Structure 1
């Protein structure tokens, strides 16, 4: 998979101080979106021509998806880029948001917003890693052949299942914080 085939994207990983501990904010996408229907994700999406940085992309998308005003986000930094099996090159951007917040969800893109405590996410009993076999039409290939790939899947929290790229980004962040 060459970089020329990858779509530039960024997500905002919003941190909120809630109930005396840090939480990460997630969204569940609607079934009406083009990519990742019904999945748990961070607010974010593809880079636009006017976006000069991943931060601009993440903030623009968070405003479009959940009504989070860019002026209400205190940016902390970025994690390393991640390439997804759906051919996105994603830059996770970390930011602190106020809590509570009056979110305005895009009815087309976001079904709901919820948060999960960082310490819950860091507990190994709450997640598993599976090695998935090659999928029919898999886009992840080695020497021209589909390959298996590891997928992180969390146990349900508040009725939601965090898995895949969003779970990998979460664990990358927890490693930076030295919680994993």
Structure 2
């Protein structure tokens, strides 16, 4: 693909014009859900907490980049992992978009006035008990980042072109809760992107760029 294929404007176009099965039917056919079909089907029968994450692409003409966070090691779940800004959907949130924007503001200080939501991905079921709605967005330049030290150790950016290159998506597996769990791993410099975040990134690639 050309560099223009990984611009924020092209990302927006692809997000708005997604092909394939409707979102509410497509989740099982994407990302690492395909690699763990039996366990994910069992997980669907459990009572899951709804959550939302913000998949934010920075509109930089030189290089569109995706905002990611390194969670602190003090958190109860997913401590120290790479994650998109996000969290649980509260009763006061009117939509996953509102929840994702609120959480991004609380976690990294991203002002919602810089963010345009442009679509969703199929939801992601996590083995830790969450039904996660990824919210796709374009972030215009000029924003500032102020990480919440209680939740976020650091904030960093990864080129969209890197994340959408399937050559950077390798598969791994490990024992988890008595069964083998398969997942994607996307090393980026000293960062180790894996688990839920890598699964969502893989879904983004499959829905918009494959």
Secondary structure of the residue that 1:177 maps to in structure 2?
helix
Q: Which of these residues, 59, 64, 79, is aligned with residue 121 of structure 2? A: 79
- The structure 2 residue matched to 1:155, chosen from 187, 192, 196, is 187
Quote how far apart the aligned CAs of 1:104 are: 1.1
Bigger share in helix: 2
In the alignment, which residue of structure 1 is the partner of 2:204? Answer: 173
Q: TM-score, normalised by structure 1?
A: 0.86
Give the structure 2 partner of residue 6 of structure 1.
Answer: 48
Q: Distance in 2 between matches of 1:126 and 1:176?
A: 17
Q: How many residues align?
A: 168
C-alpha separation between the residues in 1 aligned to 2:122 and 2:80? 26
**SS of the residue 1:155 aligns to:** strand
Once superposed, what is the RMSD of the aligned Cα atoms?
1.6
Distance 2:188 2:163 in 1: 11
What is the TM-score with the length of structure 2 in the denominator?
0.74
Q: Which runs of 4+ in 1 moved over 4 A?
A: none
* 1:1-180 equivalence runs, <5 A: 1-18=43-60, 20-133=62-175, 135=176, 138=177, 146-157=178-189, 159-178=190-209, 180=210
Kindly indicate whether structure 1 or structure 2 has the higher relative contact order, using CA contacts under 8 Å at least 6 residues apart: 2
Gaps of 5+ in 1: 139-145
**Which blocks of at least 5 consecutive residues in structure 2 are unaligned?**
1-42
